Chain A
Amino acid sequence: MLEIKNLVCRYGKVTALDGISLKVPAKQLVVLVGANGAGKSTTLRAISGLVPAASGQIIFDGEDITGMAAGKILAKGIAHCPEGRRVFGEMSVLENLEIGAYLRHDAKAIQSDVDRIFHLFPRLAERRAQVAGTLSGGEQQMLAIGRAMMSRPKLIMFDEPSLGLAPNIVEQTFHIIQEIRDSGTTVMMVEQNAFAALDMCSYAYLLEAGSMVLEGEGQDLISNPHVREAYLGAGVHA
């Protein structure tokens, strides 16, 4: 579904991605792991058109989307859940969802999608008029996921979905992400919580200093000695 060939990205003179290649097959959950500054977020930002590619190709659904404007890429069906602050804090829950459908103009379908998300996350339905900034961290995460789904993406990309969340909320978030995958949407995820991410994914890539150093099925990476030592810590039992 998504294929990246020899992608190079630079911030000024600094090379963030040094010719990486990867594939995300349809209806799969693919994970990108690596240390801080390895280029994981840059990869996602390049795919969604926020960072220009210096060279290389990004192909989505058989179409070359390299260099396309961010809005166009979103309209093609790639949604991006950026890391950091996840929701528009001063807007209500409902407004947050509605703005997720910003590029769509089918009011009826948008309404039914809102209802679907409220059905999926009853907590959000209870708080639909509440200002999003006053939600708990977990509720904000649900809202962010809901908002990303409002664009009806074929591929949804999560950047550090577990960051700053309580352990039980992290578990819940991962559960939802798996459900999204099971419902037929392709998922690509960048995650620092390497063990959990590798455990739930179908295929994984390991980035180090802007280069792809390892790839394979999640379980294979978990049992890889290099991964175990550098990313999973000595005390982790696979």
Chain B
Amino acid sequence: MKLIASLLILAFFATVPLWLQDQYYLHTLVVTGIFMLAAMSLNLLLGFTGQLSLGHVAFFGIGAYVSALTSLGFSVTIFGMPIVHEPWPPFVGLIFGALAAGLCGYLIGKLAFRVRGAYFVIVTISFAEVVRLVSLNWVELTNGPLALPGIPPMTLGFEWSGYLTLWGKAQNYYFVLAVIVLTYVLIRRLVYSPYGRAMIALRENETLAVSVGISVTKYLVLAAVFSGALAGLAGGLYAHYIQIIDPMIFMFLNTVTMVIMVITGGKGTLAGPVVGGLIFGIAPVVLRSYVGPEVQWILYGVLMILIVFVLPEGIVPAIERWFNRGGASRSPTGRGASSGGSSGDGSALALSGSGKGNS
């Protein structure tokens, strides 16, 4: 039942370029998809281990820069040693970008998870700021504020099969869609594996998790590596799609967008970042014709506060609850009421969820 629904939704999105002729809207959808991917990666940390990374854009930006530089080539001098790199295919760049971001996730994880909670938030913010300053000031490598232009578009294929360069919007749309589906399946497998079970156990109650033999650092670092690599992958997609990147990519606003997507959609749920990503990816385009960008941000703020107040667990859990109002059992991934007393509260949430669906 759930599978059929998922396939139907997927089929719908697969047909979009066939009937949506407006290139601008298609472009919006591609960028939305890329940020959705970043939100999905953030959800791994925020939703499944409960650690808030407020510097998540760093992984995204590192993926973008590494992927761009791998495919553009560069020549820099480090401590008098000239290092010259010849351009490699964009697809290799994409993989390198993800690996580099994953490695950063490992380092940040190792460093920061000794001191969790607020300290982790601070470490991630600082990390993003440091990376931004490097991208701004290491002009020889990154071109600094002058931006890195002319990044080649994604090229797929092998020598024996011929190559396909993704120039058009529709081609990029399908590529991003494919990556999202693949990532979704991957995260789903991870969450339902013993690894995912261990992460959820840690989020829920660390003392208990340790008492059953779950190693805290191991799983938190694992989540950080995975999350970083996925964000790096999203960044690489972004670089090769937009074809120009500059240090503005490290804007704090980008992290905030990802956090908003995750929280409104429902952190700790598989579909949460997808739903949140769609809403906050498309909302700017819809709102643009009515209000200016400043007012838009205010509106997002209001919307965010509303959602947190009305649906504190996010949209997806509310919808889920509305669908299985009768049953008490739930999936292991959902965040639910943890005491019997608040089950009444839950049905109230479900009601407001259905009201939202009808309006």
Residues of chain A whose beta carbon lies under 8 Å from any beta carbon of chain B: 48, 50, 69-71, 74-75, 79-82, 84-92, 95, 98-100, 102-103, 129-131, 133-136, 147-148, 151
Contact = CB atoms under 8 A, between A and B. Distances in A.
A103 B336 CA distance: 26
A86 B209 CA distance: 11
Interface string B159-178: 00000000000000000000
B338 A95 contact: no
5 contacts: A74-B212, A88-B205, A90-B335, A99-B197, A148-B211
A95 B212 contact: no
6 smallest CB-CB distances across A and B, nearest first, come from A89-B338, A133-B338, A103-B213, A129-B329, A71-B213, A74-B213
B204 A131 contact: no
B113 to A, nearest CB: 16
B332 A133 contact: no
Interface of B: 194, 197-198, 200-201, 204-205, 207-215, 328-330, 332, 334-340, 343
A102 B212 contact: yes
A45 to B, nearest CB: 9
Given A90-B334, A95-B332, 17 more contacts: A71-B213, A71-B214, A74-B213, A75-B213, A79-B211, A82-B211, A89-B205, A90-B330, A90-B336, A91-B332, A98-B197, A99-B201, A99-B212, A102-B198, A102-B214, A129-B329, A151-B213
A131 B330 contact: yes
B330 A48 contact: no
Contacts, number: 91
Nearest to A157: B211
B207 to A, nearest CB: 5
B338 A136 contact: no
A82 B207 CA distance: 7
Given A75-B213, A131-B330, A151-B213, A87 B200 contact: no
A128 to B, nearest CB: 9
B152 to A, nearest CB: 46
Contacts of B332: 90-92, 95
A131 B205 CA distance: 15
Contacts of B194: 102
Contacts of B336: 89-90, 131, 133
Contact of A90 (B209, B328, B338): B338
